Structure 1
Amino acid sequence: MSTATSSLASPIGLSRPNGSRGTPGSRTRPLRHLERWISPIALIALWQLASATGILSERKLAPPSKVVRSAIDLIRDGTLGHATLVSTERAVAGFAIGAVIALLLALLAGLSRLGELAVDPPLQMLRMLPHLGLVPLFIIWMGIGETPKVTLVAFGAIFPLYLNTFSGIRNIDRKTLEAAKVMGLTQLQRIRYVILPGALPQALTGLRQSLGVAWLTLIVAEQMAADDGIGKMINDAREFLMTDQIVVGLAVYMILGLITDAIVRLIERKALAWRS
């Protein structure tokens, strides 16, 4: 009787095969990742179909098959690799400068009322200025070399990181700061062990946003009479109506942006493992 009762009480256990311990979520997770590729692949297929049937003129936009062939040719002759390296160096340099400035200003504004009054109002005003509209002024001030391109990227990258880091610092519990002071921590120790860890989640969010702005800004910056890089490649292709190479260049910008965003998300998972 007891055996029958226990069997009826656990029908799920009877229906599961021996050795099967996986959960439905773990079994379907790979499928969920594959499902995210369905719509992009469908769009590319429709693009190819529209080109093949003449609905979309190749003069207006090259089909995916031609774009892939063009990318392979550009990789083989070294043009794409060199252009990508030059553009990446510009983006990294501009973003690094902008990130350092943003973090320093966020600390200055977030740690004192006087610093906030000195830093935050001007930055809020500059934030409303369309930074891409500064291209003509940057050319007048700095010429058409590397300096205006890197400066424009840095200028665009400052604001998302500053705003998020500043907000993260100001949202730290004041009781935590008071406790750190009571424990005898110096100002530098409070910044290192309390303020920066407390502001880290929002700072990483700002980091991702700043990276996105940096790559978008670079696209415009490399139109400033660039003598090398992806922007130069796109400009040359535009002169000869080579839409396949234009699409290749835009795709490289997109891939670089996705790679840097994935790196920051990986850092975020490692640095904020305590939240999971």
Structure 2
Amino acid sequence: MKDIKRRSVLNKVIPWIIPIIILIAWQVLTTTGIVAANIFPTPEKVIAGTITLIKNGQLTNNILISTKRAVIGFIIGGGIGFVLGLVNGVSRRSEIALDSTIQMVRNIPHLALMPLVIIWFGIGEEAKLFLISFGVFFPIYLNTLHGIRTIDSGLVEMGKIYGLKRRALFWNIILPGALPSILVGVRQSLGIMWLTLIVAEQLAADSGIGYMAMNAREFMQMDVIVLSIIIYAVLGKISDSAAKILELKLLRWHPNYQNN
């Protein structure tokens, strides 16, 4: 029992070791002058800048705006990718008709579309939502399609033997069997979502964390720039942790997740 508790404590402590080392190194390098203050601010200066932005409401407002953009774009692009992945996974005819076109479009770097998207939508919300949706679509589509295609055919045949009709077969065998792969696609898409948002907000926005960073660059506010980077990292970690929790809840039946 003690070993289990000790292992549980270690599992909670170990992930924090490297971030703490980075923080200590940051403090030492910036306070001793090894790294000049005009190149990288001290942690104290970043904290002071954070407090100022919280007091004037800019930080909270920009975080909420960026999070809203990310979530809406993810829902749109991820939802379309999930539906098309399911359709092409269960229908060979649909895959033949659609998959080749999707694969051709997938090879277009979505961030390279930025100039065209700005011409189409300007710097409004539509431009950012389009880019985020376009970026997150493909990992979820591919992993959904792959998950369905790699389901053990023996399980499907067994379900048919037990009298499962198409709908019951889908909900009880096909979708649960593809779920691990789908959730991998979700985690991949979450990373792409934040990456796309960073670029979109820096080039085509008048609000959000990326805009805050670009505006700070104009005035050489290094503390705000570093803070923006940290916020993106924290938001990315939170979203990935949420995806991992979702995995544990939805895949409790899976042997590989029962000991987590």
1:194-243 residue CA offsets vs partner (Å, 9 max, x unmatched): 21111111111111111111011100111233111111111110101111
Change in Cα spacing, 1:172 to 1:35, as seen in structure 2 (3 Å) is closer
Partner of 1:83: 62
- Pairing partner for 1:114 from 93, 99, 102: 93
Once the two structures are superposed, the pairs formed by residues 158-197 of structure 1 within 5 Å of their partners are: 158-197=137-176
Judge conservation of contact 1:149–1:224 (CA < 8 Å) in 2: no
- Quickly say closer, same or farther: Cα 1:113–1:32, change in 2 above 3 A: closer
- 1:96 Cα offset (Å): 0.2
| Paired residues, number | 255
> Are the counterparts in 2 of residues 66 and 244 from structure 1 also a CA contact under 8 Å?
yes
Match of 2:78 in 1: 99
Q: Partner residue of 1:13?
A: none
Q: What is the Cα deviation at residue 118 of structure 1?
A: 1.8
Which structure has the larger Rg over C-alpha atoms?
A: 1
Moved more, 200-209 or 219-228: 219-228
User: Partner of 1:223: helix, strand, or coil?
Assistant: helix
Amino acid at match of 2:18: S
Structure 1 distance, partners of 2:155, 2:11, is 41
Q: Which amino acid aligns with 2:26?
A: W
CA contact (8 A) 2:46 2:224 kept: yes
For 1:65, the equivalent position in structure 2 comes to 44
Which residue does the alignment assign to 1:47?
26
Structure 2 residue matching 1:274: 3-state secondary structure: coil
Relative to the length of structure 1, the TM-score reads 0.88
Query: What one-letter code is carried by the residue in structure 2 that aligns with 1:71?
Result: T
Contact kept in structure 1, 2:122 and 2:204, CA below 8 Å: no
Aligned to 2:14: 35
**Structure 1 residue 103, shift from structure 2 partner:** 0.8
Deviations 1:113-153, CA, capped at 9 Å, x for gaps:
21111222222222222111110011112222110100100
SS in 1 for 2:203: coil
- 1:266 counterpart = 2:233: no
Counterpart for residue 184 of structure 2 = 205
**Distance across 2 between alignment mates of 1:233 and 1:216:** 16
In the TM superposition, structure 1's runs of 4+ consecutive aligned residues that sit over 4 Å from their partners are: none
Superposed displacement of residue 176, structure 1: 2.4
Partner of 1:8: none
Between stretches 49-58 and 97-106, larger displacement belongs to 49-58
Aligned-partner SS, 1:189: helix
Q: Which amino acid is the alignment partner of residue 171 of structure 1?
A: T
Partner of 1:143: 122
User: Which blocks of at least 5 consecutive residues in structure 1 are unaligned?
Assistant: 1-21
Find the aligned partners of 2:244 and 2:7 in 1 and give their Cα distance: 23
